[in-house]
Amino acid sequence: MKYFNTEELYLSNNWDMIFDKFKYTCKCYDDYYECLNFSYRISPIIDYCMSYFTNIFDINKAKAIYNWYKKHDSRDHSIEKYFDEYKHCTDDTHLDFNSNYGLYAYSEEGLDKCIKRLASNNMTRQAMFCINNNEAMSDRSIDKLCTNTIQFFIRDNRLIMIVQMRASNLFTLLPYDSFMFCYWYLYVYNKLYNEYELKKLEIDYIYITAATIHYYDKNLDNIHKIENKNVEKINNLFDNYKDKNFLKLFDYKINNI
């Protein structure tokens, strides 16, 4: 079995504490480590980058998944160039990706519906949308979904985001899911702050609970071989999130990296 040392991963901000929590609570099986019912929180403005090593968090892969979601096309295979995990999600009889979260956030307007509900009732419990579904999890599906629900609350003038995940690999997809969760948080925050004039609204945390977080021996191979850093490309990506043009600024930054 292979085991990681948090000091070797060049983790950003409070990710080192999250990894330590995993390290001390996980259980070891044949070729992987796993924690069940794993909960943690991240800040959307400082924790969007899990690690400054490109083989854990590559800004080009983040850009690719960001653009894939924004395009929200269930038959767009461009993501396969960057993530081997998606190469097995479609075939000749399964033409559509279930795992393009943009389908649920944008095509089905999940994020905008949350914004409208929060704007009309700050104390609502209904600002949420589902990603996972019975069809995607059926025996017929070859593209099982990792994230179940996204939900937002405003309490004490603070925006809170709660994510419930079915499963997540600590080293392969969680870094990029976390990046997009941070962007979605700031998308909702920016709209509420600027377009709906909620000027007292403050940034809080994203709270994530994963039914299982895990990694396999093979996931550590590249991490121990490569130590390229991409600090310069990642730092301050979410600057000016309160600016009314934040979304355009972010689009410009991510598409010019």
CATH of the domain at 134: 3.30.572.10
The answer to whether position 3 is within a domain reads no
Least trusted range by pLDDT, from 19-28, 46-55, 209-218, 226-235: 226-235
The answer to whether position 223 is within a domain reads yes
Least trusted range by pLDDT, from 186-190, 233-237, 250-254: 233-237
Percent of the chain with pLDDT over 90: 85
The answer to whether position 71 is within a domain reads yes
CA–CA distance, 84 with 181 (Å, rounded to integer): 21
pLDDT of 137-154, one tens digit each? 999 999 999 999 999 999
The answer to whether position 175 is within a domain reads yes
Nearest to 209 by CA among 179, 249, 248, 164: 164
Domain ranges, residue 163: 13-255
Task: Give me the chain's average pLDDT, please.
Answer: 94
Asked if residue 240 lies in contact with residue 249, where contact means CB atoms within 8 angstroms, the answer is yes
The answer to whether position 41 is within a domain reads yes
Q: What's the pLDDT band for 233 if we cut at 50, 70, 90?
A: confident
Strands 158-165 and 27-28: unpaired
The answer to whether position 95 is within a domain reads yes
pLDDT of 107-130, one tens digit each? 999 999 999 999 999 999 999 999
The answer to whether position 169 is within a domain reads yes
- Collect all residues with Cβ–Cβ distance below 8 Å to 25 and sequence separation of at least 6: 35, 38
The answer to whether position 6 is within a domain reads no
User: What is the sign, positive or negative, of the torsion defined by CA atoms of 205, 254, 178, 184?
Assistant: positive
Asked if residue 12 lies in contact with residue 51, where contact means CB atoms within 8 angstroms, the answer is yes
Q: How many domains does the chain fold into?
A: 1
